[in-house]
Structure 1
Amino acid sequence: MPVNAVSLHADIKANLGEQVLNDVLRNVWPQDCQSCNKPLGTEPPSLCVDVDELTNVTMATLHHTACQASSWNDGPILRVSNNLSWRSHLINWPIESGDDGPVIWPTLLVNPHLEGVQLRQDTFGAWKVATLDHAHEAGLRVAGPDFVIDRPLPARAGHTPAAHLNGTTVTVQLSPFEQWGGTFYHQEQTARVRELGGVMFGYTTAVNPPDIATYEDFVQPVVQRQIAFGFVSLAR
C-alpha cells in the first residue's frame, strides 16, 4: 500500500499545498530507503524533495529518518536517488470489441519507481505529480477518446519502443534508458502476444502492480485515469 504517514518538513507542505502533497503520498511506496538502499520497514519514512532547476527535474523520495531528515532542497547540492525500485504485473485485459464481445489484450503494467515520484511546476508556479506527463510525452494515453488500442507507440528521439518475447518473459523497452519486463503464467498468453504482434503497456505510480489481486483492482485506476497505456510492437 502507498505510504500513509511520513516525517514531513513544513516547507514541503507550504510549497506543494495540501492537495498536491496528498497526491504525492498516493504515488510513493515504502520499499527501500533512497539513502542507504535498505528496506524502509514499518516506521514512517521521511519525505524529501529535491528541485533541480538545471535539468528541470524535481523528485520527491522516501528515506529512513535516521538517514535523511525531511527537507525541501533547492540548493546547489542535490540528493541523487539511484536505488529506485520498480515492479510489474502481467494482466489479461478484456477490452470490448463490438458485437464479438471482449478481446483479451495481454498487458504489462509497470510502476517505474516505487519510492519516488517526479513533480513539475506549471507557468503559474503550481506543483503537480508528473508521472502521466512523462507517459504522455512517450505517446502513452489514459483511457479515453485519445487512446487507440492497437496504435503502436511512436518513435521518440530516434528510438522506437519495442517489446521482446523470450519464452514466457516479455520485456518492453520504452527508451534506451527505460526497460521493464514480466513473466506470463500461461503459454496461451505468449501466443496471444505473437498473434497481436505486441503487448499492451501500462505506466503508473498510483498502483503497486503486484498488489492487484482482482480485475476490479485493475479497473478502478484505469477508470480514474491513473494509468497511461500504449501498444508496444514486437521487435522485428
Structure 2
Amino acid sequence: MTVREGVAVSPQVRDHLGPSLEQVLASLWPGDCQTCNQPMPGRRPALSIDEISDFAMATLHHDNCRPSDWNTDRPIPIGTAAMVTNHTWCALVPVVTGDDGQEQIKPYVLINPTLELIYLTRSPLGQWRVEPHFALEGTGFAPPPFTSTTPAAGATATLQATELTISLAGGALGPFAVTLSDRARELVEADRGATVVITHAIDPHELTDPVQLGPVLRGDRTVMAYVRIDRAGLQ
C-alpha cells in the first residue's frame, strides 16, 4: 500500500506541494528508510523534499530519523542504490498488433525502480509533478502510448534460465531482475525482448490482474520502451 495514510507531512511540505501532495503520496511506498536504510513498515514514515531550482526529490524516512521537511539550503543527501527498493513483475498483456485487429499476448516487464524515492519537476505555472523520466534521459524510454518495436538505445536485457535482467545506461538505476513464468520466458524468447514499463503509479507486487494496468499503460507516471535481449546473455 502507498503511504497516503499515516505519513507525517509538515505544514511546509503541504504548502509547497499544494494539490500535488496527493499524487506524491500515491507514488511512494514504505520500503526502507532513506536515512538509516532499515525497514519502514511498523513505524511512522515521514515525507521530506529536497529542492534545487525546478527539480526536487521526494523521499520517505522514519519520522525520528528525518522529520518531514522541505529543504532548499542543505546539500541533498544522496544515498546508495542499495538504499532504495525496487519491485518487478512480468505481466502477459493482450495487445492488438498489425492491421487485422488481432490480439496477441505480449510480455510486459513492470518496474517500480524506487519505492521510497521519486523525482519531481516544476511546471511553468509552479505546480510540482512526479517525473518518471528524470533519471532516464538518453535511454530511449518515453511516455505512452507505446507501439515501437525499435530497441531502446540505452537499455539491454539478459535472460538466464527464468530470470530476465534489465540494465540501463549510466547505472543510475538498476539493474532490475524479474522472474518469468515458463510461458513468459517463451514469449520473451520469441520476441527477442520485452516491453519494459517503468512506473511510479503502482507497486508491481500488489498486482493480481493485468486489467489493473489500464492507468499505467495510458501514461500515469509511466515511461516505456522495447528492450532487446543481449544474445550473449541468453541462456
The within-5 A match list for 1:82-121 is 82=80, 83-97=83-97, 98-99=99-100, 101-121=102-122
- Which amino acid in 2 is paired with 1:216? V
Identity across the alignment (%) = 26
Q: 1:135 touches 1:228 (CA, 8 Å); kept in 2?
A: no
Distance 2:161 2:101 in 1: 30
Distance 2:37 2:129 in 1: 26
1:162 to 134, 144, 156: 156
- Tell me the matched-pair count: 225
Distance 1:165 1:220 in 2: 28
Provide structure 2 residue ranges, at least 5 long, that are not aligned to the other structure: none
Q: 2:119 touches 2:132 (CA, 8 Å); kept in 1?
A: yes
Q: Does 1:71 align with 2:48?
A: no
C-alpha deviation, 1:185, in angstroms = 1.6
Distance 2:101 2:77 in 1: 53
Distance 2:130 2:101 in 1: 39
**Judging changes above 3 Å, is the alpha-carbon distance between structure 1 residues 224 and 121 closer, same or farther for their aligned structure 2 residues?**
closer
Q: TM-score, normalised by structure 2?
A: 0.86
**Judging changes above 3 Å, is the alpha-carbon distance between structure 1 residues 206 and 161 closer, same or farther for their aligned structure 2 residues?**
same
- Which amino acid in 2 is paired with 1:117? I
C-alpha deviation, 1:99, in angstroms = 3.1
**In the alignment, what sits opposite 2:143?**
142
Provide structure 1 residue ranges, at least 5 long, that are not aligned to the other structure: none
- The runs of at least 4 consecutive aligned structure 1 residues that moved more than 6 Å come to none
**In the alignment, what sits opposite 1:209?**
204
Q: 1:136 touches 1:228 (CA, 8 Å); kept in 2?
A: no
- Which amino acid in 2 is paired with 1:171? T
Distance 1:206 1:44 in 2: 22
TM-align CA RMSD:
2.1
C-alpha deviation, 1:21, in angstroms = 0.9
- Which amino acid in 2 is paired with 1:41? P
**In the alignment, what sits opposite 1:183?**
179
C-alpha deviation, 1:100, in angstroms = 6.2
1:199 to 191, 194, 198: 194
